[in-house]
Amino acid sequence: DLSAADESLLMRIEAEDMRAALTEILASLNVGITDF
């Protein structure tokens, strides 16, 4: 069973993964827009 600290750490890691994925998606969209 996870402690509260472990859960908040996991949530922070997941949020950073999502932010990185969004940044990559936005970057690829920007490239597509500039190429277009």
Q: pLDDT tens string for the chain (36 positions)?
A: 679 989 999 999 999 999 999 999 999 888 876 665
Domain coverage including residue 7? 1-36
Q: How many domains does the chain have?
A: 1
The confidence score (pLDDT) of residue 29 equals: 87
The confidence score (pLDDT) of residue 20 equals: 95
DSSP summary character for residue 8: H
CA distance 17 to 15: 5
DSSP summary character for residue 3: -
The confidence score (pLDDT) of residue 30 equals: 84
The confidence score (pLDDT) of residue 21 equals: 95
Residue 2 neighbours by CB under 8 Å, 6+ apart? 10
The confidence score (pLDDT) of residue 22 equals: 93
The confidence score (pLDDT) of residue 36 equals: 53
CA distance 20 to 8: 18
